[in-house]
């Protein structure tokens, strides 16, 4: 099964559970924390991806790192470890955030750039996206130096790739096809 499909299924299940328990806001806050913490910690990323570290050790470490979180969020960590899918934790958290915001009538746009967005540029992008979608939009800036320059904008199922790396790959394909 595709990893992304599995992450979406876990996110939907946790969203349903958090709606029933009436703790969607608290769990969403926890999921933002999970995404940020895993993104900022290379050691934690390595721990989650390591096939050598046994599940119980991963579970204990994650529950210690996310000790102040809601019981639904802690249940997600336990479930992923028990099902040997803990490497999906960050992706599940990202999908949860998207699904939760969709329920509230909000959208999250992921803007991937080679360097961090300035506050002015972020405000201009936010204004354009709000106009285009007609919804409240929040921006998540992902830094990926491999795109060289430009940006990749993803909102919902739509993606606009204006990166230098994408343009170089297009030129490469065009030259290869013309030979």
The reported pLDDT for the residue numbered 1 is 39
Cα–Cα distance for residue pair 79/85, rounded to 1 Å: 8
106-178 belongs to CATH 3.40.30: yes
Instruction: Give CA–CA dist 139/32, Å, rounded.
Output: 13
Distance (Å, rounded) from C-alpha 166 to C-alpha 174? 12
Q: List the chain pLDDT tens, one digit each, 179 residues.
A: 355 889 999 999 999 999 999 999 999 999 999 999 998 888 998 988 888 989 899 999 999 999 989 999 999 999 999 999 998 999 999 899 888 888 888 888 889 999 999 999 999 999 998 888 888 888 888 888 899 999 999 887 788 999 999 999 999 999 998 87
Nearest to 53 by CA among 63, 42, 61: 61
CB contact set of 8 (below 8 Å; sequence gap of 6+): 95
User: What is the pLDDT at residue 125?
Assistant: 92
Quote the DSSP letter at residue 118: P
C-beta of residue 106 within 8 angstroms of C-beta of residue 80 = no
Q: How far apart are CA 48 and CA 152, in angstroms?
A: 27
In this predicted structure, what is the pLDDT of residue 3? 59
Give the whole-angstrom CA distance, residue 18 versus residue 12: 10
Q: Where are the domains of the chain?
A: 3-101, 106-178
- 92: exposed, middle or buried (Cβ count in 10 Å: 0-12, 13-18, 19+): buried
CATH class held by domain 3-101: mainly alpha
Distance between CA atoms of residues 166 and 163, nearest Å: 5
């Amino acid at each position: 099964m595709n990893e992304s499909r599995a992450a979406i299924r876990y996110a939907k299940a946790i969203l349903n559970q958090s709606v029933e328990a009436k703790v969607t806001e608290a769990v969403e806050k926890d999921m933002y924390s999970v995404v940020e913490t895993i993104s900022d910690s290379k050691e934690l990323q390595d721990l989650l991806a390591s096939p050598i570290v046994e599940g119980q050790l991963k579970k204990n470490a994650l529950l210690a790192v996310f000790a102040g979180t809601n019981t639904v969020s802690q249940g997600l960590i336990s479930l992923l470890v028990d099902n040997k899918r803990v490497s999906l934790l960050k992706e599940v958290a990202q999908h949860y955030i998207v699904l939760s915001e969709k329920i509230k009538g909000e959208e999250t746009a992921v803007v991937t750039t080679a360097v961090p967005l300035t506050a002015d540029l972020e405000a201009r992008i936010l204004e354009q996206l709000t106009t285009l979608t007609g919804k409240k939009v929040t921006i998540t800036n992902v830094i990926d130096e491999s795109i060289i320059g430009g940006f990749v904008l993803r909102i919902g199922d739509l993606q606009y790739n204006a990166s230098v790396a994408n343009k170089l790959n297009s030129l490469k394909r065009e030259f290869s096809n013309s030979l």
